[in-house]
Chains A and B, each alone.
Chain A
Amino acid sequence: MSAHLLFSLYVFVLAIFIGFEVISKVPATLHTPLMSGTNAIHGIVLVAAMLVLGAAHTQYQTILGFSAVVLGAANVVGGFAVTDRMLQMFKKKPSVPKDGNRNG
């Protein structure tokens, strides 16, 4: 087993634990935005897609790589934008319009 692979495995295993730890307590309110936010983060695959498209030699590879870039870009941009749109809704809380606070 190469040193590089071994190192990657270390990283992989430790990242699993961090992933579990980091969201231990999430209010149900945030389940959907959190899912959407992590959905955007795996859009990092765009970086990989750009790397393989950059290295493509044949037409077949170019088509595959190009498709990967398109899908990955949509994942990243759309993912973050939609998450921000969701979270924006929560931000409106303090400036409640009109007669909002009558039950407060």
Chain B
Amino acid sequence: MGNHSSLLPLIYLLLAVLFIVGIKQLSSPKTARNGNLLAAFSMLAAILITSAQEKILTAPIMLIGILIGGGVGLLLAYRVKMTDMPQLVALFNGMGGGAAALVEGTELFEKLGAHAPLLLARTIPMTVGTAIGCITFSGSMVAFGKLQGLIGPKASKSFILKALTLAFAAIILISATFFLIRINPLVYEVLAVTAFIFGIVMVIPIGGADMPVVISLLNSFTGLSVAFAGFVLRNNLLIISGTLVGASGTLLTQLMCRAMNRSLSNVLFGAFGASPGGKGELAVSGSPSSNGSIKQISLDDAAVLLAYAKNVIIVPGYGLAVAQAQHQIRDLADLLGKKGVEVKYAIHPVAGRMPGHMNVLLAEANVPYPQLHEMDEINPEFPRTDLVLVVGANDVVNPAARATKTSPIYGMPILNVDQAEKVVVLKRGMSPGFAGIENELFYNPKTYMLFGDARETLQKLTAAVKEA
């Protein structure tokens, strides 16, 4: 490390502080963008300083690698639609995990080639880091595939998959132990490949709706894997940054689970239907209301209801995000506003495909910020509201969460749209939401169902409101 060795750790300490301040600022709306730029600056400094220190950036292969990776990253980041953001985060996260595993692997082979002694202080983080990195890589790719629609989004409760998951976990543990006792490159490769497959079978059974939680969890995994790479390379900046992400990512995962009233183990090991007292009781809880029938409403009638309401609350959900109808909903809201209708948006904490995602989508469509209202703020207003327009949301407006103790979503905070005068639910079909349960709201006498693709229907609805 030459004569700079006393200076570099100090610079690393400074950069680590910048990362911490950056994350801190990211968690407050006013400073968030600043925080991101600060962290990016710190990252750039870390890369340049390390390069200068090790005189490695001049190597053509290094530059080519950075240009390819950076170019692809930049292109994806600016090309991808806002609605597809979550899977992009998954993709980048997987890349980070893969990189961490590769770093640990390269370091192992380098040390083996040089016949350098490998102590447990290095081989343990090497093993754990590689396993986690490989799991994150393949797991994130599956999460990406599910959100992108390349892999079926349905939750699967196959026992074969569960058995396979356990089997692969066992192989990972055995090969890791074996590797630690007797360093062997082949065993290491078996470990890496098994962890890769484990990541796939771990994420495949999880439903698409739970992907945000899974991505957040895998994000913190990658952080840990990077921290372990820091132990392997004896680099404190890596340890600090990786651990920061690991810890804050874990907390963020918990926050997300809490917003959905689910436990992490429930997300990972049991899809809603599979939880104890699942399907059977669901049918029971759904049945009294299913006795009633749903009422459909025509486009024109819905337009009249909207146009002559005093105030309307719009509840956008996952379906709106999938249909990319954020611009259409804004057009409708603007038109209603011109007609003198007071319009507000009620944003459930987990609306969209990820917590906070709906705010991003509506901001993209230039929805005025004062119109957006969080759940706690808007819930008292529903009883005074003429009409609620639910677009592609389901479980977050299901009154069963408030009333039906046996319901799997019981206790989940919901938007109390059933307290409004009238409710129009725009939905693709009668299919249940992520939780796979009936929604009593649809059978409520004051609810009208409007079936169709969110984007197309909203366009037609706007046209109809113009006429009304």
Contact = CB atoms under 8 A, between A and B. Distances in A.
Nearest to A58: B113
Interface string A60-98: 111011111111111111111111111111111100111
B78 A85 contact: yes
B239 A74 contact: no
Interface residues of B, number: 121
Given A28-B356, A40-B40, A74-B73, A51 B56 contact: yes
Given A47-B238, A88-B33, A31 B252 contact: yes
A35 B89 contact: yes
A62 B95 CA distance: 18
B109 A30 contact: no
Contacts of A83: 36
A96 B371 CA distance: 12
B241 A37 contact: no
B319 interface: no
A97 B300 CA distance: 29
A64 B61 contact: no
Interface stretch (B24-32, B399-407, B455-463): B24-32
Contacts of A45: 96, 99-100, 103, 226, 229, 238, 242
Contact of A82 (B19, B88, B107, B338): B88
B245 A42 contact: yes
A84 B33 CA distance: 6
Contacts, number: 397
Contact of A76 (B70, B248, B370): B70
Interface in B333-356: 334, 337-338, 342-344, 347, 349-350, 354-356
Contact of B355 (A32, A39, A77, A99): A32
Contacts of B250: 19-20
Interface of A: 1-2, 4-5, 7-8, 11-12, 15-20, 22-58, 60-62, 64-93, 96-104
30 contacts: A5-B231, A12-B227, A19-B23, A22-B27, A27-B374, A28-B355, A30-B26, A35-B249, A35-B252, A37-B39, A38-B244, A38-B252, A39-B89, A42-B223, A45-B99, A47-B50, A49-B102, A50-B57, A51-B56, A52-B106, A60-B109, A61-B110, A69-B66, A69-B99, A73-B65, A75-B73, A77-B73, A78-B76, A84-B37, A89-B363
Interface of B: 19-20, 22-24, 26-29, 32-33, 35-37, 39-40, 43, 46-47, 50-51, 54, 56-57, 59, 61-62, 65-74, 76-78, 80, 82, 85-86, 88-89, 91-93, 95-96, 98-100, 102-103, 105-107, 109-110, 113-114, 121, 212, 215-216, 219, 222-223, 226-227, 229-231, 233-252, 255-256, 259, 334, 337-338, 342-344, 347, 349-350, 354-357, 359-360, 363-364, 366, 368-371, 374
